[in-house]
Structure 1
Amino acid sequence: MAVTPTLNFTFKILLFIHILAGTTGLVTGILNIVRKKGDKPHKKIGRLFLYGMIINGIAGLFMSIIHFNLFLFIIGIFSIYLASTGQRYLSLKNISTNQKPKTIDWVLSVTMLFFAIAFIIYGVLLLLSNKNFGIVLLVFGFISSSMAIQDFRNYKAKNTVKNFWLLVHIQRMIGSFIAAFTAFLVVNNTILPGVIAWLLPTVVFVPLIFFLVRKYKVTS
């Protein structure tokens, strides 16, 4: 499909917004990872991170439609889902008693599961065509499907961890940062093989997630 001058101009505006929001996400994400958790500055920085990642993701999705780009599409989906659910879990503290998740919670999780399945299927097809990018799709597909399933269990109050909402918040926000850092690395990478650039941030930061979850976990 031919891209009109108007769409090209729109793409440039979206690209500027995408870069600005992504940079905001990277900077604020690093700040909240390294500094004290839970105080007022953490919450204020966290809001900037949330808005940056959601705006970055939305801009990326529109850009991927104007000029088809699977990279932008995947990062956009992950950025929106991870940042949104990470924030939403702070409002689901009483779900183990009588609180019910809102419609937006189900929409986010069901949508992520749909795309996770699509990533897995497409990843298998790429591998069958001897394309290594299929590995990336499979990894992200299985990770995102496990998170969506985790959401469904939590929404049904089947989590035995007392402060599960805090742990999921940590997982999702750092996961959103991983998405932002992955985008930065892939775009600017001139040395690493493509698959390595895609997966390296996940390999580096997932251990941090496990460390923080163990540190803050409170069992019932």
Structure 2
Amino acid sequence: MQVLFDIMRWTHIVGGFLALSVFWLPIVAKKGGRVHNNVGWVYVWAMAAVSVTAFFMGIYRLTWDAGPDADAIPFSWFLLFIAILSSATAWYGVRVLRYKRRKAGHRNPVDLLFPSLLFGAGIGISIYGFAIDFPLLQYFPLLGLFLGGSQLLYWLKAPKTRSHWVVEHIVGMLSCCIATVTAFTVFGAPRLLQVDSVSLLVWFLPTIVLVPLIIGFTIVYKRKMDRPINR
């Protein structure tokens, strides 16, 4: 089992650094262009590897080897939440493109499963964070509560604007970027900098920086594209 864990860990590290290296390129590249599309897929596959391996390592730490560190269990739950957050948002960001021409509610079970897991994880892990008084788990999973709920509403309702798929694609992929950078600040940065921990402000900095970017892109594309679909 330890050998499998080591394979997963190195796959996670490689996938994480790849995602961290390229995530900004689709943001600055021309939307819909070759760089945006090709690098975007590199990022999605890198995050798929990160999500699968993070989920495995989180389960492994919780069930087989929590280690002597008192914070190992809470950080394992955070790793599981990051796995759910990154996979759900990346999947959502890709799938809204496939169904961009839909005119009715969407009921695909897999597309509803991911946001449901994200919503449930956001509630459960946040409650756990308050129970053990662990600030990172108290507040960060609320992002999953918001994103999971908004994704479910988007799928279940008929679109009302032409920009719906662009806006939701941006929200999905930039939310996945939040997961990417946050995971680095929580797990990667302390090891690279050889420090025991990073401040709570630094942990939330990716959310603080990227949420206004999401809002800004959303406003731009709504102004550019929106008018009632049936007119």
* Length-normalised TM-score, structure 2: 0.82
Provide the residue aligned with 1:167 in structure 2. Answer: 167
Alignment of 1:40 onto 2:34: yes
Moved more, 158-167 or 191-200: 191-200
Structural mapping, 1:90-169, within 5 Å: 90-95=97-102, 97-98=103-104, 100-126=106-132, 131=133, 133-134=134-135, 136-169=136-169
Residue 86 (structure 1) aligned with residue 93 (structure 2): yes
- Pairs within 5 Å for 1:4-23: 7-23=1-17
Contact 1:174 1:209 in 2 (8 A): yes
User: CA distance change for structure 1 residues 101 and 29 in 2, over 3 Å: closer, same or farther?
Assistant: farther
How many angstroms apart in 1 are the aligned matches of 2:141 and 2:78? 14
Matched to 1:44, the amino acid is: N
SS at match of 2:162: coil
Q: TM-score, normalised by structure 1?
A: 0.86
**CA 1:99–1:39 in 2, change beyond 3 Å: closer, same or farther?**
farther
Letter in structure 2 aligned against 1:142? L
Q: CA deviation at 1:158?
A: 4.8
Select between 47-56 and 29-38 the one with higher mean Cα deviation.
Answer: 29-38
Deviation at 1:44, TM superposition (A): 0.9
Any stretches of 5+ residues in structure 1 without a counterpart?
A: 1-6
Name the Cα RMSD after superposition: 1.9
- Is residue 2:210 matched to residue 1:205? yes
Unaligned 5+ residue runs, structure 2?
A: 63-75
Deviation at 1:175, TM superposition (A): 1.2
CA distance in 2, matches of 1:161, 1:120: 33
Match of 1:176 in 2: 176
**Greater mean alpha carbon deviation, residues 137-146 or residues 175-184:** 137-146
Residue 87 of structure 1, CA deviation: 0.8
1:93 and 1:163 in contact (8 A); partners too = no
How far has the Cα of 1:70 moved from its partner? 2.3
Within a 5 Å distance, the mapping from 1:187-202 to structure 2 comes to 187=187, 188-189=189-190, 190=195, 193-202=198-207
Partner of 1:72: 79
The total of aligned residue pairs comes to 207
Deviations 1:51-80 (A, max 9, x none): 111110110110112223223212211111
